[in-house]
Amino acid sequence: MNQQTIDRIQSLLLSDVTLRSRQDIEASYPPRGLAADAIVTRSAPSPTGFLHIGTIYMCLLNQYLARQTGGVYMLRIEDTDKKREITDGIAQIVAALNAFDLVPDEGVKADGSSYGAYGPYLQSQRRELYLSYAVDLLQKGRAYPCFATKEELDASYTAQQAAKVRPGYYGKWALWRDRSDQEIAAQLDAGMPFVLRFKSNGSHDKRVGFDDVLKGHLELPENDLDVPLIKADGSQLPTYHLAHVVDDYLMKTTFVLRGDEWLPSTPLHIELCDALGIPRYSYAHFAPISIMDSNGGGKRKLSKRKDPEADVQYWLNQGYPIEGIKPYLLGLADSSFEDWYRANPNKPLADFRISLKKLSASRAPLLDTAKLDDYTKEYIASLPIEEFEAELKHSTNKAFRAALNNADKQYLTAVLSIERFGDKRRKDIAKWSDGPDQYGYFFDELYEADFAPQIGALLEAFDTTTLTDVCKAFFATYDPDDDQPTWFEKLKKAATVTGFATDNKAFKADPNAFKGNVADFAKILRVKLTGKDRTPDLYTIMQVMGIKRVKARLQVL
């Protein structure tokens, strides 16, 4: 393009923006003055839908790597896709990071305002910066306008498929790469919209080498795609490629941590850096969180579209304590974390130092809910009874909250204290939404509504007469003042009276001679009292419930 055409394109790009020189722009983003080994990281989510748990994982890594080197962790919001942006998207991102104690050193607040010296951190507020760098590429002959319509691009893609060649906008398939000034002028005179594209000098047949912080030395095909730099939707906002290169250069990012899905784009970003005279970045591509496909497809990336677990809000709605999720995520990143966590139960998580070597070895970390439950159960079991009670009242369903709030204080404390002390603490709650199932039967209104209806199905193996006889025989000698050994001896005698075996050898030798064994006898009592067949120690349950409640429930058929 001649200078007249370039100037005309520039004028259209800057129709409502005053061009700033790169020298002026870069002077307003001085060196940070950090130690040489300090890491400056950034997380850059888009407010276009729910926040992915993988974003929390990435933010966690960024925060730790920056913090343990005396660096800076930033939040930059990529809000350039205005068509897909949701109303409260930024607020959701900020709220989630706050909840996980991942508040950035610099970044964006819930209302979209920025804090920090290298902002603004909202990309839509940085338009003039991107346009200045885009114009720099235009003036250097490394960018050009493309007027191809969607129909023309679709036709080109169809032709590439027919020719069985690699799809994309490159070489002879770059429809406007080598057009004349006259052709460009004609389109401009007609007022046709255009996309400003990067003019690549790369060849897909050649390779570019770079050192990935996590993956080591890599060599990938050079970029030859003439990708869009500035969108043609009238916003004059950049595509990710230009925004990433410009922002991380100006914000002095030293360490670009991002998912493996961006690895194929690295040659493009390297070429953009070279074209702009910007030092190449230190990239660290990590494996995203994966999941086992429920349809037998093996391990795959955790998907926003397929997996509810991908949504951060899913974990919060389920009542998983963040204090359990964070150590689980740290364990995915660094295999040495679990040993450290077990050895240092009273140390803050911030004391742990993530190893880049361990992170590089974490290949497609698998979302294992059983493992997550181990962490959350451990955390919940460690809470003092007061905090445990407060969380149950705050984090569970309405009916259960009402039952807890209306309960006698002494009774409630006794209920929640069952098996919570000593060396073998109760660890059957992984999330606060488990509370109603684990404790609801202690409260009569919940027992009648949610647990008693299950009794018939759980005891269908026993006839009505047997059930009645078991309850009467047990209660005939039940004394709440008995210690546990005495209570159990009385239970066994009642079992014998009602035709249940107390000798396992005898039962195994001739099971048809008995209605069941002593465990079956205890199961009947357990189910009648709780509506469940698995509970904590039956003796303790009866002690807590009190004789009046025990009697009432055992006499209900």
Which amino acid is located at 74 in the chain? M
Q: Is the pLDDT of residue 435 over 70?
A: yes
Q: Residue ranges per domain, the chain?
A: 7-22+127-286, 292-380, 385-554
Q: What is the mean pLDDT of residues 408-417?
A: 97
Query: Helix, strand or coil for residue 145?
Result: strand
497 CB burial (10 A radius; 0-12, 13-18, 19+): middle
Cβ atoms within 10 A of the Cβ of 537, count?
A: 12
Over residues 235-240, the mean pLDDT reads 93
pLDDT tier for residue 297 given thresholds of 50, 70 and 90: confident
Residue with tokens 């209660």: 475
In words, the CATH class of domain 292-380 is mainly alpha
Computed over every residue of the chain, the mean pLDDT equals 95
Q: What is the pLDDT of residue 395?
A: 75
Give the pLDDT of residue 523: 98
Is residue 178 within 8 A of residue 197, CB to CB? The reply is no
Count of Cβ atoms closer than 10 Å to residue 260 Cβ: 15
For the question of whether the overall pTM of this predicted structure is more than 0.85, the answer is yes
Q: Is the peptide bond before 485 cis (omega within 30 degrees of 0)?
A: no
**What pLDDT does residue 557 have?**
41
Phi, psi dihedral angles at 236 (to 5 degrees): 60, 30
Domain 292-380 in the same topology as domain 7-22+127-286: no
Mean pLDDT to the nearest integer, 415-437: 91
Q: What's the 3-state SS for 276-316? A: HCCCCCCEEEECCCEEECCCCCCEEECCCCCCHHHEHHHHH
Per-residue pLDDT tens over the stretch 55-106: 999 999 999 999 999 999 999 999 999 889 999 999 999 999 999 999 999 9
Whether residue 354 contacts residue 61, with contact meaning beta carbons closer than 8 Å, is answered with yes
Region 7-22+127-286: CATH code: 3.40.50.620
Tell me what pLDDT residue 437 has.
Answer: 96
Alpha-carbon distance 129 to 123, whole Å? Answer: 10
SS3 sequence, 146-177?
A: ECCCHHHHHHHHHHHHHHCCCCCCCHHHCCCC
pLDDT attached to residue 147: 96
